[in-house]
Amino acid sequence: MPVSPARAAAFEILLRVETTDSYASELLHSSRFAKLSGADHGLLTEFVMGVLRWRGVLDDKIAEHTSQPLIKLDREVLIALRLGAYQLLFLDRVPKHAAINESVELVKRARKKSAAGMVNAVLRKISNSHFSQKRQEVGPSFDDRSAHPAWLVERWQRIYGPEAANKICEYDQSMPQTAVRMTTTLSISDASRASLDGQPRAAVPTLECISSPPAPPFHTAFEQVRAQGIQFKGGRLLGQAAVLKAGDISQTAFRERRLVIQDEASQLVALLVGRGNSILDCCAAPGGKTRIMAEKNPNATVVAMDLHPHRANLLRRLAPESNIQVIAADARHMPFATTFDRILVDAPCSGTGTLARNPEIKWRLTPEDILRLQAYQIEILTAAMKHVAKRGRIIYSTCSLEPEENEAVIEKAMASERSFKVVDCGGELRRLATQGELVWEGIESLLSGPHLRTIPGVHPCDGFFAAVLEQG
């Protein structure tokens, strides 16, 4: 029997996520699935993200109805079971016969025909149990916390308290808002008539750089999305942010990377960098923060560095401003002796503040990974500290909720580089509020001691940490 395009694509993406280090969000917006209709792409996204968000609950339900340990099932079989179970348990409008029969067909197509009968039986048992509960008006209760590894939930309860931990879990299980940032010359109300920044650019020093053709103007992209009935509203945190109000942006200029989706907390981190004549972004890809720093400092040189050449190429496309130079290099061993007024270290991290967007992370991460990442983060930060000019600043940030990757990194790095002092982020946030950049009223709620801390569910954004350090 045929399998719908959305289910076939969902099975393919879930298998790649399971067997490689791929991220679902990147695969969903890859060119391979660009030809799907808007309806099919929306259903594909629902299937993939739903299965990844609720994997723990789905596995529990599957385990209730099979005698075979899940760890012994072939990956293709388990993915088909999860995909079918998600439709049966969470999507009332999907016909149960389609959810079951097409899951069986997916197993056959994956050359696991011997498991087809088992998949059929397990999904029918799940369906019968689920609909029996509904008829008895005893609806299944899907606890947001049970959709996370227990060790993560326990950590957050200890660090942030039970109430905040519950909000984090709840936020992770929802579809997060889609935010973009207006350029300095664009506004939400009149984006299509705006022009690009015409201020003169500073001369950029010669560096071995990786470049690609610049992206089309932002105003052209806004004309396109407006013509397609896509609407934005003002951001919750930032005055120059916009949040998707209506419409589907998957087939628009966003796919062509003429406009960049960027969470408001991520934008806020870039704004903390402030003003400088020379700026270094150590771990810059995919380039959203780089672009903001270049826009806010049009006469400055902005050096954007990434370890991987292919990501550096992507960065050049996403951050096309003429005052940006892109290089591929290891931030722990910088290929120059230059010092900078401002350095951003947006360090590679566990990503636990972004689980609503990247739910696969919570099933890959282990407690040991956090300490391994900490060692890497300290290396990058201490190397960057050696390139800060006198009275210059370094901004360290992550999208992690874990103190080991945040406060502990700052403490250990400053122990080896004693010429730095911590700058109170409260004063920086109030400066941004005075300038109209920050519109969130509860500034104190954005602080953890002297540092920036956003918490998913408590704030309308991903979880980010940032510390500002100044060279003495």
Contact 237, 459 (CB under 8 A): yes
pLDDT class of 254 with cuts at 50, 70, 90: low
Domain range annotation of the chain: 5-136, 171-471
Is 192's pLDDT higher than 70? Answer: no
Is the pLDDT at 6 greater than 70, yes or no? yes
pLDDT of residue 180: 86
Residue 187 has pLDDT above 50, yes or no: no
Topology at the third CATH level for domain 5-136:
N-utilizing Substance Protein B Homolog; Chain A (1.10.940)
Q: Do domains 5-136 and 171-471 have the same CATH topology?
A: no
Q: Mean pLDDT across the stretch 413-434?
A: 96
pLDDT at position 438 over 70 = yes
Query: What is the pairing mode between strands 388-398 and 340-346?
Result: parallel
**pTM across the whole model:** 0.88
Residue 279 has pLDDT above 60, yes or no: yes
The architecture that CATH gives domain 171-471 is: 3-Layer(aba) Sandwich (3.40)
**What does pLDDT average to over the chain?**
87
Query: What is the percentage of the chain residues whose pLDDT exceeds 90?
Result: 72
Residue 129 scores a pLDDT above 50: yes
* pLDDT at residue number 454: 98
- Distance, in Å, from the CA atom of 445 to the CA atom of 164, rounded to the nearest integer, reads 12
Count of residues making up the chain: 472
pLDDT tens string 344-362 = 999 999 999 999 999 999 9
Predicted confidence at residue 319, as pLDDT, reads 64
- Residue 24 has which token pair? 């679902």
